[in-house]
Chains A and B, each alone.
Chain A
Amino acid sequence: MSVAHGLLAVTRLTLYEAFRKRILMATLIAGAGFLTLYGLGLHFMVRGEAGGMALVERRVFLNMLTLAGLFAANFLTIMTAVLLPVDTLSGEIASGVIQTVAVRPIRRRDIVLGKWLGHWIVMAGYFGLLAGGVLTITFLRSGFTPPKLEIGLPLILLEGTVLLTLSIAGGAKLSTVTNGMLAFGLFGLAFIGNLVEQIGTMAQNDAARQVGTVASLIMPSESLWQLAAYHMQPSVIRDLGNSPFSPVSVPSVAMVVWAAGYIVVTLALGIRWFGKRAL
């Protein structure tokens, strides 16, 4: 019996469960619908502007469209990151299913880590499909690719990972509904906090900016998206700041380190809560 056998067995079961249950199918259908809509929208917009724009204008236009597509992909990934694992621990604890697993020679931490890894693979695969779909459709129709994808896409994935980790760890302590409410509540808090920060920066109001920073520390998801969007825009758009995806206040790289630490600490808390929990 290898040390990692429990972790791998739980990961494998989690993946199998995701493929067998209808939730993934529903997510895939939603994703396919989104890509179809995006493709149609892009097609008609590109056809409408044919030959009527200067090269720079066309680049700005296509970049905004692509980022809008990636924003939607980001949002769908976040929904998946929260909803797919929201009851993986709390639901199995409430129903008693977890008992027959936890009595096996598996460490409790491996149950949490196995579920985390399995769901992360599903989420990352889903994001890969959506983002890959948006970028492929854009490239095939217009020949455009946004810059710095190698920085932007991992940042979006990191954002999804933050919410996925929160959803799994919360399930070790909270009921399914409370856990889902908390994860989406924090996501909303980060969104509003970022808006306050952007407006505060524009108005040169330090207090408003600090409120936004505190919100980003409580939940770094929105900052990661802002940073990703910042990198995936050509410098000319960033400098002009005339795109809805151009942050006035650009999150610092330290936010990436914070988010990574956030994931580690949240996961450690989830492992601790589950380890102590009466099953």
Chain B
Amino acid sequence: MTDPVIETRELRKQFGDKTAVEDLSLEVHRGEVFGFLGPNGAGKTTSIKMLLGLVEPTSGSGSVLGAPIGHRATRARIGFLPEHFRFHDWLTGRELLLVHGRFLGMSSRDTKARADALLARVDLLDAAHRPVRTYSKGMMQRVGLAQALLGRPDVVFLDEPTSGLDPLGRLLVRDVIRELREHGTTVFLNSHILGEVEATCDRVTFVREGRTIRDLRLGEIDGSTEVDLRVGSLTEEARAAVARIGRIVEDGATSTADGPERLRVSIPREDLLPELARALVERGIALYEMRVARKSLEATFLEVMGEDQRPG
């Protein structure tokens, strides 16, 4: 494991009587696509703002790219797409990127070349001359993504990067995140769209009531694999054999009286799949379908957050 690119220890933020972040302790490593998950009001955006130096922590410590959080020179190596993606909307898309190039201290030539490449990447080249205020929500989010990537950052913070995007836009963002990972860029992703997190992130941390409560490497959810089976009528012996390999989670749903039976089995390891198939076939049970159904991130989210959570 490489040295952490982002590291925080007991970071806390209090606004008057309200505690926005109670204890943020996490590590994100170089090249990782890291998901930051939690319900509304869990302190995710305040946490990101603390990491970016936009909000001063009340207590605790943290570093980004080896420097204390908010360090000025280090900020040149950080990209940020804010949740509400508001920009100087009287500028055109291209002008917005040129202005940010100046903020970053980039040369004029480099900024122009980089701006054109990024506008093309986010499919906004033909709208580059239009004021940002004439953009749709999705276009604004895409130009925001371009400004976040302008300085070839080592770390990119994306706060709800696809909230305003249609499915094609989401795919585009997903592809951009993949490209960033391939280039070794660390991505800190805050998103409510769990399917997107599942598709892009290597690891997630769950945060609740301002505390980091669980860290999870995706693909290791719950340490188990669930298998959906469609089989002929099960004998007691076959059922017992299956139960020896894994745990029967759902049992017996059939569409017709003599039709195939549906079964969901949780097995501790994926390499037990052939054994499960053999146990059925050897006992003469017809196997119509066998499909791995990993536990979804959504299910894990609900489990981690607890049943007392209310919609935010």
Contacts and interface: CB of A to CB of B under 8 A. Distances in A.
B54 A104 contact: no
A19 to B, nearest CB: 11
Contacts of B72: 105-107
A20 B80 contact: no
Interface in A10-32: 12-13, 17, 20-21
B25 to A, nearest CB: 21
B104 A278 contact: no
Interface residues of B, number: 28
B105 A2 contact: yes
Nearest to B71: A105
A13 B99 contact: yes
B86 interface: yes
Given A278-B54, A278-B56, A103 B88 contact: no
Contacts of B87: 97, 100
Contact of A6 (B55, B56, B103): B103
A102 B70 CA distance: 10
Contacts of B88: 13, 17, 97
Contacts of B105: 1-2, 5, 105
A1 B76 contact: yes
B56 A279 contact: no
Nearest to B52: A103
A20 B105 CA distance: 23
Q: How large is the interface on A (under 10, 10 to 19, 20 to 34, 35 or more residues)?
A: 20 to 34
A101 interface: yes
B75 A97 contact: no
A95 interface: yes
Contacts of B78: 103
Nearest to A22: B90
A278 B49 CA distance: 9
Given A100-B82, A100-B147, A278-B49, A106 B103 contact: yes
B86 A95 contact: yes
Interface string B42-84: 0000000100111110000000000000001111101010101
Nearest to A104: B103
A9 B147 CA distance: 16
Nearest to B151: A104
B90 A20 contact: yes
B104 A99 contact: no
Residue picked from B52, B75, B105, B144, most chain A C-beta under 10 Å: B105
B54 A96 contact: no
A105 B55 contact: no
A279 B100 contact: no
Contacts of A103: 52-54, 75, 78, 80
B102 interface: yes
Given A9-B102, A96-B84, A279-B55, 10 more contacts: A1-B73, A5-B102, A9-B103, A13-B102, A20-B90, A103-B78, A104-B100, A105-B74, A107-B72, A278-B15
Interface of B: 15, 49, 52-56, 72-76, 78, 80, 82, 84, 86-88, 90, 99-100, 102-105, 144, 147
28 contacts: A1-B76, A1-B104, A2-B105, A5-B105, A6-B103, A12-B102, A13-B99, A13-B102, A95-B86, A96-B84, A96-B86, A97-B87, A99-B49, A99-B54, A101-B103, A102-B54, A103-B53, A103-B54, A103-B78, A103-B80, A104-B76, A106-B72, A106-B103, A107-B72, A276-B56, A278-B15, A278-B49, A278-B56
